[in-house]
Amino acid sequence: MSVIYKLSRTLPLLTMTAVACLMSASSVVAQQVFADRPIRIVVPYPAGGTTDLLARAVAPRLGERLGRTVMVENKPGAGGVIGSQLVAKSPPDGHTLIFASIASHGIIPALQTPPPYDPVKDFAPITLVASTPNVLLANVDLPAKDVEELIALAKDKPGTINFGSTSHGGSPHMSGELFKTLAGIDIVHVPYKGGSPMLIDLMGGQVAIGIDNLPSSMTYIRAGKVKALAVTTTKRWPGAPDIPTMIEAGVAGYDVSAWFGLLAPAGTPKPVIDALSTNLMAILRTPELTRQFFELGAEPVGDTPAEFAKFIQEEGVKWTKVARTNNIKLE
C-alpha cells in the first residue's frame, strides 16, 4: 500500500519570513542534490502500525522542505527483512529510503546467521526519528500488582507464567527476554502475529503478562482492561506519568526504546545525506510534529548521521548479547 503526498511549493501568507527563506534555501539544495523525481520512503511493515504512522507524519513535511513529491510505500514481510533488503539494493541516490525500526535494524540481524543484511555496512544513516517505550502489561486478575510481586511470583513458580509479544524477534519479545535475563526469572514466550491478537488473549487470560509498544496499548490501559506494570525506557512517558520505569520497579540496568529512523543505501553521497538530515532535524523540532508524535505515543529525536550510526552499532551489540544469552534464533 502506498500514499503519495503531492506537495505545494508555496507557503501560507502568514508564514514568517525567516521560515520562508529557509524553505527557499532548502529547495535550492534539493535542486542541486536530487533529481526531479519522487523520493520513496519504504516502510518494511504493513500499513497502520507505529512505523507506518510516523513515516506518514514525516513524509509531507519533508516533501515541503525539499520541494519534491515524497511517497510512503509499504513493503512488509519477514519482520522487516523484505523492505530492508529492497532499499539496501537500491541505487544510492537518495530517492529510495528506509523507515527502519529497532526490529529491522537492531534485532533481526542479531538473530539470524548469517544476517540478511548488515545494518551498519549496507546503509547510510540519516537520523534517528523517534523513540517510544514498550510496556509490560498484566492480566487484571494476575495476583501481582507490580513488577516486584511479578518477579516473586515467577521465581516461586518457574516456567509457569507465559508472556505474550507481538512477534518472534520483535522488540516486545526481546524486551521480555531482557527482563528474564536481568530479573533472573523463567517465563515462557508466546509469540503472536501483531499486538491486537496478543492483547485480546491477555485480556482473556490466555497469557498472564504481555509486552507491547505503549502507543498501541494505551487505549486498553486507560480503559482498565489490562494492568500496566512498567515502561521499558529509563524515564517515564509524559503521556502516562503514573507508569513507573522498569528500573524504578527494581530491574537494575533495564533500558529498551522502540526506535525508528531513516536510512539510505550505503554509498549515498554525503551532500544528499546532509540535505536529508538537516531538513529532517528541522522538521522534528517543530511544535506541530512534536504534538503529532506525542499523540501517536512517540518522542521525536533528530540526531546527526554519525550519532545515529554509533547508536545502531550499540544496538547490534546489545541484542546480539541478549540473543546468545537466551539462545534465540530466527530461521
Query: Which one of 212, 231, 250 terminates a domain?
Result: 231
Strands (E), the chain: 2-5, 39-43, 70-74, 96-101, 123-138, 162-165, 188-191, 209-213, 227-231, 257-265, 299-300
Regarding whether 171 and 154 lie in a shared domain, the answer is yes
- 198 or 78: whose pLDDT is higher? 198
Output the domain CATH number for residue 198.
3.40.190.10
- 160 or 13: whose pLDDT is higher? 160
Decide if pLDDT at 283 tops 90: yes
Regarding whether 275 and 210 lie in a shared domain, the answer is no
Decide if pLDDT at 11 tops 50: no
Regarding whether 105 and 17 lie in a shared domain, the answer is yes
Phi (first) and psi of residue 266, to 5 degrees: -55, 145
Is residue 97 a part of any domain in this protein?
yes
Q: How far apart are CA 57 and CA 59, in angstroms?
A: 6
Name the residue among 244, 256, 243 with its Cα closest to residue 319.
256
DSSP assigned state of 208 = S
Which residue type occupies 190? V
Q: What's the structural domain count of the chain?
A: 2
What are the grid coordinates assigned to 314, written together? 550499540
Is residue 124 a part of any domain in this protein?
yes
Is residue 82 a part of any domain in this protein?
yes
Is residue 247 a part of any domain in this protein?
no
Q: How far apart are CA 20 and CA 83, in angstroms?
A: 35
Q: How far apart are CA 324 and CA 132, in angstroms?
A: 25
- 177 or 216: whose pLDDT is higher? 177
Beta-bridge partners for 240: none
Q: How far apart are CA 112 and CA 280, in angstroms?
A: 31
Is residue 250 a part of any domain in this protein?
no
Q: How does pLDDT run across 103-153, given as a tens digit for each residue?
A: 999 999 999 888 999 999 999 999 999 999 999 999 999 999 999 999 999
Position 33 confidence tier, pLDDT thresholds 50, 70, 90: confident
Output the domain CATH number for residue 295.
3.40.190.150
Vertex 57 angle, CA 134 and 37, to 5°: 130
Is residue 236 a part of any domain in this protein?
no
Q: How does pLDDT run across 88-98, given as a tens digit for each residue?
A: 999 999 999 99
For all residues of the chain together, what is the average pLDDT? 89
DSSP assigned state of 244 = P
Regarding whether 198 and 64 lie in a shared domain, the answer is no
What are the grid coordinates assigned to 323, written together? 540473543
Strand (E) or helix (H) holding 261 = strand 257-265
User: Which residues, at least 6 apart from 157, have a Cβ–Cβ distance to it below 8 Å?
Assistant: none
Beta-bridge partners for 128: 261
Vertex 8 angle, CA 5 and 9, to 5°: 130
Strand (E) or helix (H) holding 58 = helix 50-66
Regarding whether 142 and 51 lie in a shared domain, the answer is no
Q: How does pLDDT run across 229-267, given as a tens digit for each residue?
A: 999 999 999 888 999 999 999 999 999 999 999 999 999
Is residue 39 a part of any domain in this protein?
yes
Is residue 249 a part of any domain in this protein?
no
Helix (H, G, I), strand (E, B) or coil at 163: strand
Widest distance between CA atoms in the chain: 67
Domain range holding 84?
A: 2-132+258-325
